[in-house]
Chain A
């Protein structure tokens, strides 16, 4: 049974054992508009909780993508680099950004549940 949590920077994280898959939320894509560029962390690199781990750009502006937890990058999604519009189409499933081997599972505790995130997203965009 996997666990899905959300960050205040509008990333989602799905944890299966020690493997975490991270992407940006549908709400984030709606705020960004049409995404035309994605940059991902390098495979094998280590990223720290709340640190920059990528970039997305819409026609309007560039935004950093942060990692909600620390770990080693074990995979990245080339599909979204080749066709960034996939991020608008399916942000919370096939258009994931990167996978981590998670360093410390307790870092998940401070993140939000789906309900908490939806409330947060609604409040911050109002």
Chain B
């Protein structure tokens, strides 16, 4: 399979990116400043992330679309207003997560943002579950640019005036160079920010104008440290086919109104809601500077294995190693002492609250 490039590939190279292959795409892992500086710039000013490798799936056509999508996703799509977004999951029959995604109601249907590594499979699964009744378009003529950080609203407003009125997890159509762009206020760094869906041919000039207004390109390396500090999951690391949203501590994303209804995996989830789960995703803070990365084994004080780290790094803003992973439910309480096996040694650590870094989202309407 040939390696794909996003419409910003030349710009990445021009800005000194170190390129790696991620989910079949040539992507920047970092630029000249390096991961820590890029991370801190996003937290203090604003960072531009090329997330064009992610899938933008548009589904439209037919009055029953909302009903039929609710048979797939555990989100309350009937209550969703036009331009409103929700975090949800594509699950298998065992309640395992096949992908985590954002669903936005558009004027004529829904837009679903999918993880790059899952998007083609998701497309086939969703298409087949919808019995080919609707129009599905995994639109690769569009780029997706995330702008994140406390200055994101000011920078974006200079390039596309009016977008700062958007509320968190809401979107709208805007115009850039006489072309329609779709902007949502969302992101995955723990900062206020936006995701801009824009024609491939306009993406480079758009990003250049963000840079001219003070923002900087940020690579996948800092995207990973930012999302970890924000306590957010990375599909493939922290979420997979054998892990349910309840086990992943993402119960909040399944509204109460949907628990008794049917969707793919609903039997398993209903059961887990009632009887609890054996393993649970937790935040982990090592006592020392030692970093416990994915697959590090977790032990209790009796030297019994109780779980596994799924993501771990050094958090540049919290200035300490951070990790998340799954432990036997009886060890999931905050401040429980655990031990991480790193290079043959048992490193003391504590279960801690997520996120490691406090969010700065601009709140919209609260839907209970």
Give chain A's interface residues, CB within 8 Å of chain B: 33-34, 36-37, 39, 55, 57-62, 81, 84-85
Interface presence of B35 (CB below 8 A): yes
Bound-state CA distance A59–B35 (Å) is 7
Contact of A33 among B35, B291, B343 (CB under 8 A): B35
Looking at chain B's contact residues, the main secondary structure is: mixed
Bound-state CA distance A36–B315 (Å) is 9
- A–B complex contacts, Cβ < 8 Å, 27 sampled: A33-B30, A33-B35, A33-B221, A34-B35, A34-B36, A34-B316, A36-B289, A36-B314, A37-B289, A37-B290, A37-B314, A37-B321, A57-B291, A57-B314, A59-B39, A59-B221, A59-B225, A59-B313, A60-B29, A60-B35, A60-B221, A61-B293, A62-B291, A62-B293, A81-B289, A84-B289, A85-B36
Residues of A within 8 A of B313 (CB): 59
Residues of A within 8 A of B289 (CB): 36-37, 81, 84
Interface presence of B187 (CB below 8 A): no
Number of B residues with CB within 8 Å of any CB on chain A: 18
Residues of B within 8 A of A84 (CB): 289
CB distance from B326 to the nearest CB of A (A): 21
Given that A59-B221, A59-B313 are contacting pairs, would A36 and B34 also be in contact in the complex, using a CB cutoff of 8 Å? no
Residues of A within 8 A of B37 (CB): 34
Contact of B291 among A34, A36, A81, A85 (CB under 8 A): A36
Bound-state CA distance A39–B343 (Å) is 11
**5 interchain residue pairs of minimum CB distance:** A36-B314, A34-B36, A59-B35, A34-B34, A57-B291
Among A34, A37, A39, A58, residue most surrounded by chain B Cβ atoms (within 10 Å):
A34
A55 touches B314 (CB 8 A): no
Bound-state CA distance A58–B321 (Å) is 11
CB distance from A86 to the nearest CB of B (A): 14
> Per-residue 0/1 for B285-326: is the Cβ within 8 Å of any A Cβ (1 yes, 0 no)?
000011101000000000000000000011010000100000
B290 touches A33 (CB 8 A): no
Identity of the chain B residue whose Cβ is nearest the Cβ of A88 in the assembled complex: B34
Bound-state CA distance A55–B291 (Å) is 11
Contact of A59 among B290, B314, B343 (CB under 8 A): B314
CB distance from B176 to the nearest CB of A (A): 33
Bound-state CA distance A2–B56 (Å) is 61
